[in-house]
Amino acid sequence: MKKILFYFITYSLSFVGMAQVKTVDYSAIKNQLNGGQPLPSEESFIIQGRIPSSVRLVTLDVTQTGKSPQSGNVYTWKTPYRQESELFELFVSHPLRSNEEYSITLKYYEGANSTDMEELKSAIFGNLEAYIRASYEVNKRGLQTLSSQRVMMAQLDQIVYQGVANYTHPLDQEFAGFSDVVRQKIEQTHSLRLRDAKFNILRKRDDESRDEALYARQLIDELVALTQAEAEQYLRANLYMLVEIIELDNFPTEKRPNYLPINVGYAGTYFGGDFDNFDYDTSPYVGIAVPLGRRAFTKFLGNASLSTGIFVNNMTTSEGTTISGPLIGRPSYVGLGYSIFRVFRFNAGAVLTSSEVDTSLENITLYPFVGFSLEFNLWLGLSK
């Protein structure tokens, strides 16, 4: 019996270790994922497909249908450094829920060439300058700002964010926004007292208002140059440019069968006493375990369960009292279980027992127990 149990445990552990990650193919010619079959559910898997050698980056966005886009997961694949590849592989590490629908979005990026980058810089630089100049009004009385400091900083950041919306950094670095140096320059323009212009530009006696206007334009030019210089620091890298978007809406996942975990194990029940006079007995037991969660989505609750069942044999105390159970004639238990290596479960809880006091009375008692069991999944379903 021990040899059989040893072989069974060894086989179970080797089976767990041999589990492999499934691979799903995407066909660009057919625009078909997994051959049109549902995607794997409640397990990680790989999506792979062929790409032109010019593609440097592929991203995958997976969102459950009807959920907010922010609730989805994004996965990224990049070509190895200074190498080309005609095959991408994306590891979907967050399992999908059984019998649900998901929106799948693939994006292909190529390396932007020098012409693309010059056009991008020109567009962003032009938009920065146009916004800054439109935010100020220069007249003979001086400089008047049309937007608050906070609004100007936010809008300048947005100009860059929107400008590079179809680009991504090769090192996954997003534009961090304009620095405090730009903020200070904007504060300077808002708190400007144009009567101080005489300290910066030589005043002309025949046209004093012209000095103030020149000083105001000087500050605006400095702000334009500063923002363009900081944007260029980010745009100096050879960004990846979005060239293709593939969308697959309402794509189904496979329906997982329902299982009832059956536990067969061995447990000890404590009846009383201390370390010097320990009163207990053991017995095999069989029962069911109801998981408290899906293992694929919550590790702790997925392995934890509410267990119940009966002991196969009656037990005996150190005083020779037979410990049975009410109604069915065997002790029954309720407890919490935790799965280990998927096939072993540790259980602890309370045993409902009965023992005869005399021929007409029965003593109903709860005792604590602990035990280990092997777990088998019994499929629950209806025949076609």
Go through the domains of the chain in sequence order and give each one's CATH number: 21-111+243-252 (2.60.40), 114-238 (no CATH), 258-380 (2.40.160)
Q: CA quadruple 86, 92, 98, 103: dihedral positive or negative? A: negative
Nearest CA-CA partner of 378 in 276, 259, 264: 259
Q: CA–CA separation, 239 vs 172, rounded Å?
A: 10
Q: Rounded to 10 degrees, what is the CA torsion of 122, 123, 128, 132?
A: 100
Tokens of 280: 């207990």
pLDDT per residue of the chain (384 residues) written in tens, 0 to 9: 444 444 444 544 444 444 588 999 999 999 999 999 999 999 999 999 999 999 999 999 999 999 998 899 999 999 988 888 999 999 999 999 999 999 999 999 999 999 999 999 999 999 999 999 999 887 666 677 888 899 999 999 999 999 999 999 998 899 999 999 999 999 888 776 544 444 444 444 445 455 667 777 888 999 999 999 999 999 998 899 999 999 999 999 999 888 888 999 999 999 988 877 889 999 999 999 988 888 778 878 888 999 999 999 999 998 888 899 888 889 999 999 998 887 889 999 999 999 887 666 678 899 999 999 988 887 765 444
The whole-model pTM stands at 0.74
Residue 175 class from Cβ within 10 Å (0-12 exposed, 13-18 middle, 19+ buried)?
middle
Q: CA–CA separation, 166 vs 293, rounded Å?
A: 40
Q: CA–CA separation, 253 vs 30, rounded Å?
A: 19
Q: CA–CA separation, 295 vs 369, rounded Å?
A: 25
